[in-house]
Structure 1
């Protein structure tokens, strides 16, 4: 019964993606790559700079999230300092704020510091919204490590930073994979933040480029090319998830469900 239920749920969730993939190859005369050709050659389609922008934003977001979340999670998980619990709760409280309500304020703030209409500024905003969940995951991942491992490293002469880089990072690898995967999926598929924070068309991500295809000539919408764009953007996400699935599940189970 459990296997049947799992199979039914899998089909339910996979059906929209499979339908989009099927529709992306369907043409008036059969099946082919005509829709993908229009996706990359039409005036409103995806261009090289859109792919580059999406990759750049994703790399910056994943890298920044991993660095800050690892240091923050290590501090919250292994050190005692005044106001630790209050600061941790304040960090988690960001989850209760709908990010769409503060994007205009963030746009103004980015203008003050000279990062308006930039991929770096967009990445910084996406990192900020990833930190509550990411720090929570990394704190629990560090807390799951036996203290004896850390004490042995101290006896061997490692500093706190040395323990983190030489010992802890290897032990919390599943947590790192989980945090990095969530950060990638969010930054790769984000639409609302780039729509508000980016003004120049040459800075647009692939998500904005695909949405812009809805404003084709004479108001006609090329749904087949749109399906091709959806499928094209979904492929990296599927490949990453399949490749990192085992580490992702281990990290999520040992991190999020602990504490």
Structure 2
């Protein structure tokens, strides 16, 4: 009876947590289609057609920032994780700890300094500059995840590849990357979720309205009457922003879970 009671406890707890986390999404979906006369898509129509609503360029800006952030994070974290996980060099542990130390710095406190730095580099008010900032603050988690993923791969695979004549780069591309695919999916998914839904960094680093991301466009959605907020259209914007995240998470859920557990047991 004990195992069955334990299973029921897991089911009840899991159901309660699912309801707790899903309720805001369900409520937002319900509010986004509710109108004064019933239900319909009028709120979505105002979201995309009003003068200060979400324009195609805003969505395109978000896609560009997300693509640059995901690509840059995967490239940098893969090389960094491979170096930390497979090579021995002076100062390796100190450098790794310094990378993790970025987590201790609330990025909101240094955004102004980063804005000035981007100005020196000629990247102020640019999607590339915003992407570089987002990549920087993705690196601690991403490098940590990729290092664990590489360390979980048996050393014998790498040694066999080198015996067959593979260089370090060839081993990384042909042997290691397929073996750490769950870790890559996890890092890429986190980078996308962060960059797609980020609000504070674009608010500080972007000045031109034509450079605004979707999050800024949704927040700026207001009616012309005394600056009041069109909450129904905002709920439609929330749903629009959440759909890509939900679809990607559902499609990559298995690899995402495996990525978190890949470094738990080495070898």
TM-score of the two chains, using structure 1 as the length reference: 0.98
How far the C-alpha of 1:76 sits from its partner, in A, is 0.2
Say whether residues 1:103 and 2:72 are aligned partners.
Answer: no
Aligned counterparts of 2:156 and 2:41: Cα–Cα separation in 1: 58
**Map of 2:84 onto structure 1:** 76
Q: 1:219: which partner in 2?
A: 227
The CA RMSD over aligned residues, in Å, is 1.0
Tell me, in whole angstroms, the C-alpha distance in 1 between the residues paired with 2:87 and 2:21.
42
Mapped pair 1:197 → 2:205 = yes
Question: How many residue pairs were aligned?
Answer: 258
For the 8 Å contact 1:46–1:209, the answer to whether it is kept is: yes
Counterpart of 2:93 (choices 75, 85, 93) is: 85
User: Which of residues 136, 145, 155 is equivalent to 2:153?
Assistant: 145
CA–CA separation in structure 2 for the residues paired with 1:252 and 1:86 = 24
Does 2:123 align with 1:115?
yes
Alignment counterpart, residue 39 of structure 1, candidates 42, 47, 58: 47
- What do residues 80-115 of structure 1 show as CA deviations (whole Å, max 9, x unaligned)? 000000000000000000000100000000000110
Report SS of the residue matched to 1:219: coil
Query: How far does the alpha carbon of each residue in 1:34-78 deviate from its partner, in whole angstroms, 9 at most, with x for none?
Result: 000000011111000000000000000000000000000000000
Q: Out of 169, 178, 182, which is 1:161 matched to?
A: 169
Moved over 6 A (4+): none
Aligned to 2:116, the other structure's residue is in SS state: helix
Q: Does the Cα contact within 8 Å between 1:103 and 1:193 map onto a contact in 2?
A: yes
Deviation, 1:253, is 1.4
Find the counterpart in structure 1 of residue 66 from structure 2: 58
2:5 maps to none
Aligned to 2:143: 135
Unaligned stretches of 5+ residues in structure 1: none
8 Å Cα contact 2:44-2:233 kept in structure 1: yes
Tell me how far apart the structure 2 counterparts of residues 20 and 80 of structure 1 sit (CA, whole Å).
Answer: 51
2:259 is aligned with 1:251: yes
Q: Alpha carbons of 1:215 and 1:113: their partners in 2 closer, same or farther (altered >3 Å)?
A: farther
Contact kept? 1:44, 1:216, Cα under 8 Å: no
Which of the residues 15, 18, 21 maps onto 2:26? 18
In structure 2, the partner of 1:179 is 187
Mind listing any 5+ residue stretches in structure 2 that lack a counterpart? 1-8
Q: Say if 2:223 and 2:230, in contact at 8 Å, map to a contact too.
A: no
